[in-house]
Chain A
Amino acid sequence: MRRAGGRFRAPVAALAFAALAASGCSPAAGEPGNAATRHTVVMLAASSLTESLTTVAKDFRASHPGTDVQLSFAASSTVVTQVNQGAPADLIALAGTAAAVPLDKSRIVKNGTRPLASNTLEIATPPSNPGNVNAITDLSRPTLNVVLCAATVPCGKAAAKALSLAGVVAHVVSYETDVKATLAKVQLGEADAAIVYHSDVVSAGARVRGVQIPASVNQTVDYPLIQLTNDPTTVEFRTYLLSDQGRKRLRDNGFLTP
């Protein structure tokens, strides 16, 4: 009898544990700590902002000793999914206002959305331009390896729109997870061309060659900066980001600023 009882209890304990785990009893994962003691800002941003925000954060740490900015970059759609699933974040920046539509609006503080910058599309090729790409119409050539962002990602949506306006069916070999993954395929020399943002071409410097997309079909993508908490350091960093110093770093990397 005792043996049987021992056997019975263990599964019950396991089920209780499973129920606990399934009910999502975790200590307020989305709640940032005490505002008065925190000096760290957590920011999730569109991957096209990688270089510019990294530089702004470095400037901010240097001019505001004792503070820290933690940055994480992904496709805007991924950032929104992460925030909606309760990821702890103080600020987010997205590529395109459309990317913010599925965002859980209850996470945004009052008047928390400001325009940060804007961007346009550009074709990137390896420096030697092995595919001899000189215009958007060249992308339909079946001998080319063209790489685009996935249709779920803002740069993929914008690229699809520009291609359809230009009446070009690009010879696409891969749809990548975000704009930096797309650019990487060109930097490695595996793809002949990719449609990325102008800022990505500027940030990559000599590692890629840019080919202009005519203004008549090009897309402008506006980047909203969205504030999720009212922590003082967050407010301070947001102000810095929108200041002349912050905007200069964005312009250095090929963005347009308001």
Chain B
Amino acid sequence: MRSVRWARAGLVIPAWLAIAFLLVPLVALLVKVDWAGIPAHLANPIVVPALRLSLLTTSSTIAICALLGTPLAWLLARSTHPATPWLRALVTVPLVLPPVVGGVALLMAYGREGVVGRVLFDVAGWSIPFTTVAVVFAEVFVALPFYVLAVEGSMRGLDPRYDGLAATLGASPWRTFRTVVVPMVAPGIASGAALAWARALGEFGATITFAGSYPGRTQTAPLAVYFLLESDPQAAIALSLVMLLISVVILGALRGRWLR
């Protein structure tokens, strides 16, 4: 009995330490907020354009993730080709890459002097860095792996006999994918989208490196927090609080609806 209690304490204490470690900074943010002044701080001319830009770019990011990431997840889940595990490992690389390095890599690829960017600039006159498109590039680069891995996980859990059955009933692979696979992995898609969205919303390093920082165009909410911290710390805290609130509400809603 005694040893059982000790073992329990040995697990419970570190677990509570972990919870405290995660919650203390969030509580500190709430403690330090100048609650009465929040409306005034949020009226700082930097705050609203930054939030608007963040919502615009993260929703574009999720749309692109769903459009490109769902088929890729399907390919990774169902392909038996010997190269598939390598492909999966490659997709995971941006997940472990420091975001700033991701930003440098994006510049080398799509910058005006970049491998692909140079051609785009010479042929079409397009220059991607310093534009809102560059922000979306940075966000997709860091968020897509989260989406693909989450969706692939739930697709792998799907019994392949469903596909077989649909095929024997005459469904084409595209129709099977659209009417059988996607609806059955909807919870996986929702959790993948939530993860990817959260990652995109918090994206800083790749964005500031590849897209720069210009109010209303490339200065997303995390960048605005960084710059406000030196000019108007209370506005930075108020904006952080808004981001925390949006994250909690959206993740909470998704969890209640689909993730159980």
User: If A6-B5, A13-B16, A14-B17 touch, does A189 touch B227 (CB 8 Å cutoff)?
Assistant: no
Residues of chain B within 8 A of A145, CB atoms compared: 127, 129-130
* A104 CB to nearest chain B CB (Å): 15
Query: Is B24 located at the chain interface by the 8 A CB criterion?
Result: yes
User: Are B212 and A176 in contact (CB-based, < 8 A)?
Assistant: yes
| B16 partner, pick from A14, A147, A150, beta carbons under 8 A | A14
User: If A78-B230, A150-B227, A189-B112 touch, does A21 touch B20 (CB 8 Å cutoff)?
Assistant: yes
User: Are A6 and B8 in contact (CB-based, < 8 A)?
Assistant: yes
- In the complex, A81→B107 CA distance in Å? 30
* B79 CB to nearest chain A CB (Å): 38
User: If A145-B127, A152-B227 touch, does A188 touch B12 (CB 8 Å cutoff)?
Assistant: no
- In the complex, A9→B111 CA distance in Å? 57
* A7 CB to nearest chain B CB (Å): 9
| B24 partner, pick from A21, A81, A152, A191, beta carbons under 8 A | A21
Q: Mark B1-32, 1 if CB is under 8 A from A, else 0.
A: 00001001100110011011001100110010
Query: Is A118 located at the chain interface by the 8 A CB criterion?
Result: no
Query: Is B208 located at the chain interface by the 8 A CB criterion?
Result: yes
- In the complex, A78→B233 CA distance in Å? 12
Q: Mark B123-162, 1 if CB is under 8 A from A, else 0.
A: 0000101100000000000000000000000000000000
User: Are B5 and A150 in contact (CB-based, < 8 A)?
Assistant: no
* B82 CB to nearest chain A CB (Å): 39
- Name B's interface SS: helix
Residues of chain A within 8 A of B127, CB atoms compared: 145
Interface size class of A (residues with CB under 8 A): 20 to 34
Other 5 A-B pairs with CB < 8 A, given A14-B17, A77-B230: A6-B8, A75-B230, A173-B130, A175-B213, A190-B129
5 A-B pairs within 8 Å (CB atoms) are namely A21-B20, A81-B230, A145-B129, A145-B130, A152-B227
User: Are A18 and B23 in contact (CB-based, < 8 A)?
Assistant: yes
User: Are B16 and A174 in contact (CB-based, < 8 A)?
Assistant: no
- In the complex, A175→B216 CA distance in Å? 12
* B240 CB to nearest chain A CB (Å): 16
- In the complex, A81→B219 CA distance in Å? 22
User: If A176-B212, A185-B212 touch, does A190 touch B113 (CB 8 Å cutoff)?
Assistant: yes
User: Are B107 and A174 in contact (CB-based, < 8 A)?
Assistant: no
Residues of chain B within 8 A of A6, CB atoms compared: 5, 8-9, 12
* B99 CB to nearest chain A CB (Å): 14
User: Are A17 and B129 in contact (CB-based, < 8 A)?
Assistant: no
- Among residues of B, the one whose C-beta sits closest to the C-beta of A146 is B130
User: Are B111 and A190 in contact (CB-based, < 8 A)?
Assistant: yes
User: If A145-B130, A177-B208 touch, does A152 touch B230 (CB 8 Å cutoff)?
Assistant: yes
Within 8 A of B (CB), among A73-95: 75, 77-78, 81
User: Are B218 and A174 in contact (CB-based, < 8 A)?
Assistant: yes
Residues of chain A within 8 A of B17, CB atoms compared: 14, 17
Query: Is B229 located at the chain interface by the 8 A CB criterion?
Result: yes
* B22 CB to nearest chain A CB (Å): 11
- Among residues of B, the one whose C-beta sits closest to the C-beta of A151 is B231
Query: Is A172 located at the chain interface by the 8 A CB criterion?
Result: yes
Across the A-B interface, give the 7 residue pairs with the lowest CB-CB distance, nearest first: A174-B212, A173-B130, A14-B16, A189-B113, A152-B230, A14-B20, A10-B12
